[in-house]
Structure 1
Amino acid sequence: MTTSPVRWGILGAANFAKTTMGPAIHAATSAELAAVASSSAEKVAGFAAFAPGVRHHESYEGMLNDPDIDAIYVPLPNHLHVEWGIKALEAGKSVLIEKPVGMDVAEIDRLIAARDAAGLLAAEAYMIVHHPQWQRAKALLADGTIGKLVHVNGAFSFFNNDTGNIRNQAASGGGGLRDIGVYVLGGVRFVTGQEPVQLDYARVQWEHGVDTFADMGFAFEGFTYQAYTSIRSAPRQEMHFHGEKGLMTLTCPFNAGKFDQAELHLSMPDQTVRIERFPVVNQYVQQVEAFGRAIRTGETYAWPLEQAQGTQMMMDQVLAQG
C-alpha cells in the first residue's frame, strides 16, 4: 500500500529551519517541503535553493489556511511555540514544534488539550529519540547489559555570549536549560523509562534573566542523576549510564554527526571496551519520517507531548529552585 507524502509547511524562516530541518524534510521519504511562511521573500529563497518549487506565504495565517498543507513545523522563538502550535491544530494541521515545546508545564497542558480536541498529532521536535544510538542505549539497559543502574550523569555545553542571540534574551524564552537542558533531562527519562522522585539540588547562574549555567541533581527510583548545562563554556556533550556490571557512555549524544561521530561505548568489569558507531544517520530525517508514519499509518510516535511535559516539569523545578 502506498501513502501520499506529507506536505509540510514551515512557520517562519529561522536559520535552523533553513540549514537543518528544511533540508531534513526535503530529504525524508514520504515528505514534501511545500511552503514557508515569512514576510521576507529573500529568506524563503534560501529554502528554494535546495527545495525548488517551495511556495512562499507572506503570513503565518496564510500558511495555516492553505488546504494543501498537512503538517506544520514551528521553529519560532520559544515563547511563541504553544500559541502557534494551538493555532495550527485549530486549523486542522498536525504540528511538530521545536524544543522546548512550551515555557512551563501549564502551557503544555493547553497544547495537549488542543491536540486532543483536534484529534491530530502534535509533538516536540526532540530528535534524539529517533537516533539508533539512543534506541540502542535504551535496549542495552533494558536487557541488563550493564546490570542494575546506579548513577547517570550528563553534560551539554557551548559558548555563546552574543546578547543579540535569542538564546540570551529572557523575553523570548532564552537560556541554557530551555535550549539544551531538554537533552540531558529528557535523555535519562527516555533510556530508563522513569520519572524523578525528587529534585535533590539545583545551582543556577543567571545573566540578565537568562540561565547561563545549571548544575542539577535528581533522585530516581534506584539510581541518582547529575547533569549540567552551560552556554558560557567550551563545547562538550556526553551521557554516562553507570551500572553494577558496566558503564555505558554516549560520546556524542545530542548533535550526532556535527559535534562528532555518534558512538556508544560499553566498558565492562573485565576491562574490555566495546564501541558501537553510528556514522551516517541523520536524526532529523529520522524524526520527519517517524512523524509522517504516525500521521499516515497511526504508528506510535516515540516522543508524545506527555513525554515533553515530563522534561518540562524537571526544568521548571530547577529554574524555580536555582
Structure 2
Amino acid sequence: MSKPVRWGILGAAKFAREQMGPAIHAAHGAELAALATSSPQKAAPFLAFAPGLEVFDSYEALLADPSIDAVYIPLPNHLHVEWALKAMDAGKHVLVEKPATLKEAEFDELIAKRDATGVLAAEAYMIVQHPQWQRARELVQSGALGTLRHVSGKFSYDNRQEMENIRNRPETGGGALRDIGVYVLGSTRFVTGEEPVDFSAQISWENGVDVLTNIQAQFPGFLYTAYVSTRMQPWQEMVFHGDKGVLRLTAPFNPRVFGEARLELHQSSGVDAVPGQVLVERFPQADHYKLQVEAFGASLRDGTAYSCPLEFSRGTQAMIDRIFEVATEL
C-alpha cells in the first residue's frame, strides 16, 4: 500500500475528538477520511480540524464504503469485540481502543477473524510506540540495571464527579483495571519480556466497578507491585529496580498531559557511574498517538510485523482476568 491509509472512526468519542482524530489527521501516510456519528453537533469539532471529512450517519454505512482502508474504534468497552469483528468482515484494518476485549478468551475470536480475513488488527496500546518505552526496554534488557529485582507501577486519576461516564458503569465494562490497569501491567511485560507466574490483589468496589486495585505478582525474575485507581489524586510512575541501578519513568502513560516524558537512570556502580548522579533522557516532542498511527500504516505498506499484535494484548488481558479472579475486597 503506497497511498495514504484512509481512516474512518466509528463514533465521535471525546478521546477520538481530542487525541486520536488529530493524531490520524497529522500522521505521515494517513488520511482521516470518514467519521460515523448520527449527531451533527458531535461531528462539528472533527470537521473543524479535518474539513474534508465525510460524515456517515451509521457505523454500517462507513464500513460499507470501499474507499476506507482502516477504522479506529473508540466505542465503549463492551462494544469493542462486536464492531472489530464487523469491521474485519468488511475488509477493514482495525485499531480498536483498549481494552480490546473484556475477557482473554474473546481475543481468540479477534485473532481468528484477523487470520481469516487477512487484515491487520490491533489494540490501540500506544505507549509501546513511544521512544521512552522503547529506550526503557533497551536499558533493562541490556543489563543497565544489573539483575532486575522489583518493578512498581502507579496510575491514578479521580472521576468520582462523572458517575454517568462509561468508566463508572459496569454495563459498559468500566472500572480502573480495564481503563488504566492495562498500562501498569502491559508496560511491565513489554519492557521485561516476562510473564507473571503468581498473583494476589485487593479491590475496592463502588457501584459495581473497581475504583482501586492493589496488585502483587511474582514474575520469573522479579517481584511486581502496582496500584490503579479512579478515586485518587492524579499520579503516574513506573520504576524498574535492579541490583545495579534504578530506572524511573516520570510521565509514562500521558506524556505532555501529565508532564514531560523523562527517563531517570540512577546508578551507583559501574564503569561510567558516579555516586549520586542521575542520568536523564527527555522526550518532549514525541506523540505516541501519532507514532501509533504511523507504525500501523508502515506495517500495511511494507508487511512487517506490527509491534503490538493481538497476541501481546491477550497476555495483558489474561493478567486482568486473573486479578479479578484472585482479588479480595478492600
Superposition CA RMSD, Å: 0.8
Q: Which amino acid aligns with 1:180?
A: I
Q: Which residue of 2 aligns with 1:101?
A: 100
Matched, 1:258 2:290: no
Q: Which residue of 2 aligns with 1:274?
A: 279
Q: Which residue of 2 aligns with 1:313?
A: 318
SS in 1 for 2:312: helix
Matched, 1:147 2:146: yes
Aligned-pair distance for 1:261? 0.3
Q: Which amino acid aligns with 2:21?
A: G
Q: Which residue of 1 aligns with 2:61?
A: 62
Matches of 1:109 and 1:207, distance apart in 2: 31
Q: Which amino acid aligns with 1:5?
A: P
SS in 2 for 1:105: coil
Q: Which residue of 2 aligns with 1:32?
A: 31
Matches of 2:321 and 2:78, distance apart in 1: 15
Matched, 1:131 2:136: no
Q: Which amino acid aligns with 1:191?
A: V
- Residue-by-residue CA offset, 1:187-241 (whole Å, 9 max, x unaligned): 0000001111121x10000011100000011111111101000000000000000
Matches of 2:286 and 2:221, distance apart in 1: 33
- Residue-by-residue CA offset, 1:275-316 (whole Å, 9 max, x unaligned): 111001111000000000111111221110011100000000
What are the residue-to-residue correspondences of 1:176-187 with 2, within 5 Å? 176-187=176-187
Q: Which residue of 2 aligns with 1:195?
A: 195
Matches of 1:3 and 1:222, distance apart in 2: 44
Matched, 1:286 2:291: yes
What are the residue-to-residue correspondences of 1:200-279 with 2, within 5 Å? 201-269=200-268, 270-279=275-284
Aligned-pair distance for 1:112? 0.8
Aligned-pair distance for 1:46? 1.2
What are the residue-to-residue correspondences of 1:41-80 with 2, within 5 Å? 41-80=40-79
- Residue-by-residue CA offset, 1:83-124 (whole Å, 9 max, x unaligned): 100000000000000000100011111111111111111000
> TM-score, normalised to structure 2's length?
0.96
> TM-score, normalised to structure 1's length?
0.98
Q: Which residue of 1 aligns with 2:165?
A: 165
Q: Which residue of 2 aligns with 1:22?
A: 21
Matches of 1:144 and 1:321, distance apart in 2: 33
Aligned-pair distance for 1:78? 0.1
SS in 2 for 1:43: helix
Matches of 2:260 and 2:57, distance apart in 1: 39
Matches of 1:165 and 1:222, distance apart in 2: 39
Q: Which residue of 1 aligns with 2:115?
A: 116
Identity %: 57
SS in 1 for 2:157: strand
Matches of 1:131 and 1:98, distance apart in 2: 17
Matches of 1:55 and 1:44, distance apart in 2: 10
SS in 2 for 1:47: helix
- Residue-by-residue CA offset, 1:134-154 (whole Å, 9 max, x unaligned): 000000111111111000000
Q: Which amino acid aligns with 1:202?
A: A
Deviates more, 1:167-176 or 1:312-321: 312-321
Aligned-pair distance for 1:264? 0.2
- Consecutive unaligned residues of structure 2, counting only runs of 5 or more, are 269-274
Matched, 1:304 2:309: yes
Matches of 1:111 and 1:172, distance apart in 2: 19
- Consecutive unaligned residues of structure 1, counting only runs of 5 or more, are none
SS in 2 for 1:236: strand
SS in 2 for 1:284: helix
- Residue-by-residue CA offset, 1:146-191 (whole Å, 9 max, x unaligned): 1110000000000111211111000000000000000000000000
Matches of 2:57 and 2:101, distance apart in 1: 25
- Residue-by-residue CA offset, 1:14-49 (whole Å, 9 max, x unaligned): 011011000000000010000000111221121010
Matches of 1:215 and 1:30, distance apart in 2: 41
